[in-house]
Structure 1
């Protein structure tokens, strides 16, 4: 079974504003990367995201950015060491998952944001990590909606 997921939500703001809220580190730091984001999301760069509840900035490779349409990222899977019995080729090195964010302008002026992530090892730790990230991306969508529509930071004090 391939470990992957997709979450989506509608934000009552124009696509350009919603897209900018993700690619701009100053905006992203206001509602999601509570420890700060460093670097604008642009194709081919590596940026750093930090979360107050998961301290320590970590690299995020920006694979592709299509303005107001799509962002593709790669980052460390963070699912722990491979379990005994897995192929030796995966035993010593970490690996990355791929995150794809899509932005669709809706006829009523809202934006549909879809976030998909894939690429975990098919292990108990990979499954657990995928569930954790699914939760995290769902929370990101909720936090972005609250921030952009109402100026409320849902993550402030939620985890620590």
Structure 2
């Protein structure tokens, strides 16, 4: 089972894409730290300072301004960028969940909705709300 989440972000597609791959931008909406620029084949260390948590992701494939594919634990993740007249639709798809793991599915869906909401606030209004979730 996959978890898909979408949000309209009213900025140019390159600005939304750059927010993910640029370590100086990602702390504005998602992780407190990213070890380096996201590029195909790299292992990236991500940190949540407020949760004292750290994890590595493997960047599988990147198409500039279109697609980011990485592995997050045992789950492949795709982030799609679809340009439209108002900006870009950002779609996250986290794959390979057991449909009986309802709590995990709900928790992951909540996380993706929150991350995309933080991205929208950061890019459209320059407001950083990422560390507000308890």
Output the TM-score relative to the length of structure 1: 0.78
Q: CA deviation at 1:123?
A: 4.3
Q: Could you say which residue in structure 1 is the equivalent of 2:40?
A: 43
2:50–2:131 Cα contact (<8 Å) kept? no
Separation in 1, partners of 2:99, 2:43 = 27
Q: Distance in 2 between matches of 1:157 and 1:143?
A: 10
The alpha carbon displacement at 1:106 in A equals 0.4
2:69 aligned partner = 72
Q: Which has the larger radius of gyration?
A: 1
Among residues 110, 114, 120, which one is paired with 1:135 in the alignment? 110
Per the TM alignment, residue 122 of structure 1 is displaced from its structure 2 partner at its CA by 4.6
Q: Counterparts of 1:21-40 in structure 2 under 5 Å?
A: 21-34=19-32, 36-40=33-37
Structure 2 runs not aligned, ≥5 long: none
- What value does the CA root-mean-square deviation take over the aligned residues? 1.5
Please show how residues 118-157 of structure 1 align to structure 2 within 5 Å. Answer: 118-124=95-101, 127-157=102-132
| d(CA) in 2 for partners of 1:121, 1:53 | 29
> Within the alignment, does 1:59 sit opposite 2:56 as a pair?
yes
Choose the corresponding residue for 1:98, options 71, 76, 82: 76
> Residue 43 of structure 1: CA displacement?
0.6
Stretches of structure 1 that go unaligned for 5 or more consecutive residues are: 77-95
* 1:63 partner SS: strand
